[in-house]
Amino acid sequence: AQKITQTQPGMFVQEKEAVTLDCTYDTSDPSYGLFWYKQPSSGEMIFLIYQGSYDQQNATEGRYSLNFQKARKSANLVISASQLGDSAMYFCAMREGNSDNDMRFGAGTRLTVKP
């Protein structure tokens, strides 16, 4: 069964600095996708970025980038130029392509951006 691990319960970052949120995963399926979601205090789940297992380049979306290290099975989210509005819970998730069709989430990291 697939497994997602986020080892940082909480992180702090100074406004305008970059921060890396860690995510490791475990799967034997060669085809899979990795996702990051943001959950602000209002509770909704906001999709941020996606990385496919066969993608050759790291995914980027604006200030978000994904540091994908396939051999290490890690998919860390990098947020550049942090803003106060980035304060939220961040979840890493994975969906396998050839076996299970469900999407599993990590425990999350609470990011606080300090002014």
Partner 1 sequence: NAGVTQTPKFRILKIGQSMTLQCTQDMNHNYMYWYRQDPGMGLKLIYYSVGAGITDKGEVPNGYNVSRSTTEDFPLRLELAAPSQTSVYFCASSYQGEITEAFFGQGTRLTVV
List residues near partner 1 by CB under 8 A. 6, 31-33, 35, 37, 43-45, 47, 50, 52, 91, 93, 95, 97, 101-108
Nearest Cα neighbor of 10 from 114, 113, 112, 110 is: 110
Nearer to partner 1, 17 or 102 (CB): 102
CB of 89 to partner 1, least distance (A): 9
Nearer to partner 1, 68 or 91 (CB): 91
Using the 8-state DSSP alphabet, how is residue 87 labeled? -
CB of 17 to partner 1, least distance (A): 25
Q: How many CB atoms lie within 10 A of CB 31?
A: 13
Nearer to partner 1, 6 or 76 (CB): 6
Nearer to partner 1, 15 or 62 (CB): 62
Confirm if 76 and 24 have CB atoms less than 8 A apart: no
Q: Is 50 exposed, middle or buried (0-12, 13-18, 19+ CB in 10 A)?
A: middle
CB of 83 to partner 1, least distance (A): 22
Q: Is 22 helix (H, G, I), strand (E, B) or coil?
A: coil
CB of 100 to partner 1, least distance (A): 9
